[in-house]
Amino acid sequence: MTFLIIFLSIVCLVLLISWVKLDPFLSFLAVSIIAGLMLGIPFDKITASVQKGLGDTLGSLAIIISLGAMLGKLVAESGAAQKIASVMMKSFGEKYIQWALVVTGFIIGIPLFYGVGFVLLVPLIFSVVYQYKLPAVYIGLPMLASLSVTFGFLPPHPAPTALVVQFHANLGLTLIYGLILAIPAIVIAGPLFAKTLKNIHSVPLQTFQPPTLTPDQLPATATSFISALLPVILLIAATAIPYFIQSGPILNPIISFFAEPAIVMLLSLGVATFTLGINQGKKMKAVMSIYADAVKDIAMILLIIGSAGTLKQVLSDSGVSDQIAAQLNNINIHPLVLAWLMAAIIRICVGSATIAGLTTAGIIAPIISKTGVDPNLMVLSIGAGSLFCSHVNDSGFWLFKEYFNLSIKDTVRSWTAMESIISIVGLGGVLLLNLIV
């Protein structure tokens, strides 16, 4: 009965958005409340569950997305994006620009949380798209595939790191195996798959469309790159410092503070306000006007992402994740495949890769000691499963859809398919490694 309720809820959500044309924010709220009541959440608890889902989701993303939008808008308006695109195209050539973005996404994605990396890299993707009239999905999806792989497979991201600890796996080996799996997953789900998507029509958000400026009006190359990528530089530095310096109890809290994505984004925006705003001859009032326009453009995105969190929270509070995992626990298949399947089904139902991974780990942990399966490969199998079939109950789905301004159909065809390819290729790689190690 639980599976039927979840299935009907997702079908209802899709129909409300695609057929009735109801706003996704309102659709999520309505479906979340109805699904929660049908799954047994008491009347006096359902509102709290919806509010918690909305608050928890926006609490971690609202500041980052808003500041990222402001930075992206300024990078576009100042001509820095135009400069970056020009330099990249001259360095790699239009023929290889897609691969340059893939490598960039992979390097940046290792230390960055997915949402942060997405917000930072989308303006760079759009600058290439606008400057050279290239298909947005074809150019952008491979870079985002790199981000997804690092988020699902590699420590120090939350879910893989937590699984390493829970399974008593080796962090170094898990990272090495993850890097081995990452290469084919990115290549197949990124550049190769993107070749089938060239005909998808996408007009990305106007907020990132740079004005056409003459070369003498553009910022310097160093200023453009440093201002746009300063969040990446600061986060990588904050991640690397503890490995090279014995910081001790005094410096640790300071480093942790400056490693917070919200603080990094705020500092980066402050620097960009001067380097790309004031230093380029703009008045402070004009810069603030740019920031206000940026927030207006992403307001609905924030509401949609937050409302996706309400459905996730309702399903979590109702105990659906545990029920699903328990029903799969006695299936007689290889432990690595079983773990992938558990994570994939929970991911489809609740929308969160992290919840899917951690819920699966709690059920699968006893099986590891009984079967002798490699715990490092188990971490990667669950990580791959947790990425499978991102759809309308996943905030990442809506980030991609709204930023690239796509229909539901084209988002499923591109984003959902890309995530599923990564997941399946990851499972295949895990099974191959299991034959070797």
pLDDT in tens, the chain (437 residues): 777 888 888 888 878 887 888 888 898 899 999 999 999 999 999 999 999 989 987 886 788 888 888 888 888 788 887 787 677 777 887 788 888 888 888 887 876 667 767 877 787 788 788 777 889 999 999 999 999 998 888 876 767 888 888 888 888 888 889 989 999 999 999 999 999 999 998 877 666 555 567 788 889 989 988 988 888 788 777 767 776 777 667 777 887 788 777 888 899 999 999 999 999 889 999 999 999 988 887 888 888 878 877 887 887 788 876 676 566 556 678 889 999 998 998 888 878 787 788 778 877 877 777 778 899 999 999 999 999 999 988 888 988 998 898 999 999 999 999 999 999 999 999 999 999 98
Domain that holds residue 293: 2-436
For 17-52, b/e burial (b = at least 16 CB within 10 A) is beeeeeebbebbbebbbbbbebbebeeeebeebbeb
Predicted pLDDT at 112:
66
Tell me the C-alpha distance between 80 and 408, whole Å.
32
Q: How far apart are CA 56 and CA 51, in angstroms?
A: 8
What domain count does the chain have?
A: 1
Residue 132 is given by DSSP the state H
**What's the mean pLDDT when you consider all of the chain?**
85
Token pair listed for 132 = 């050279």
Rounding to the nearest 10 degrees, give the CA dihedral for residues 302, 261, 236, 207: 40
**Distance in angstroms (rounded) separating the CA atoms of residues 106 and 231:** 16
Question: Are the C-beta atoms of 136 and 129 separated by less than 8 Å?
Answer: yes
Nearest of 116, 186, 117, 115 to residue 149 by alpha carbon: 186
- Would you say 390 and 416 are in contact if contact means Cβ atoms under 8 Å apart? yes
At 359 the three-state DSSP class reads: helix
How far is residue 73's CA from residue 81's CA, in Å, rounded to a whole number?
A: 9
The 10 Å Cβ neighbour count of residue 2 is: 17
- Alpha-carbon distance of 307 to 165, in angstroms, equals 32
Backbone φ, ψ for residue 227 (5° rounding): -65, -40
User: 380: how many CB neighbours lie within 10 A of its CB?
Assistant: 30
Residue with tokens 């969160």: 352
Q: What share of the chain is helix, strand, coil (3-state, %, to 5)?
A: 80, 0, 20
Q: Which tens digit of pLDDT belongs to each residue from 1-51?
A: 777 888 888 888 878 887 888 888 898 899 999 999 999 999 999 999 999
Per the CB < 8 A criterion, the answer to whether 294 and 302 are in contact is no
- Residue 28's nearest CA partner among 305, 386, 307, 418 is 307
Q: Where are the alpha helices (DSSP H) in 168-283?
A: 171-187, 193-194, 221-244, 248-259, 261-272
Q: pLDDT (tens digit, 9 = 90+) per residue, 241-277? A: 776 777 667 777 887 788 777 888 899 999 999 999 9
**What's the confidence (pLDDT) of residue 96?**
86
146 three-state secondary structure = helix
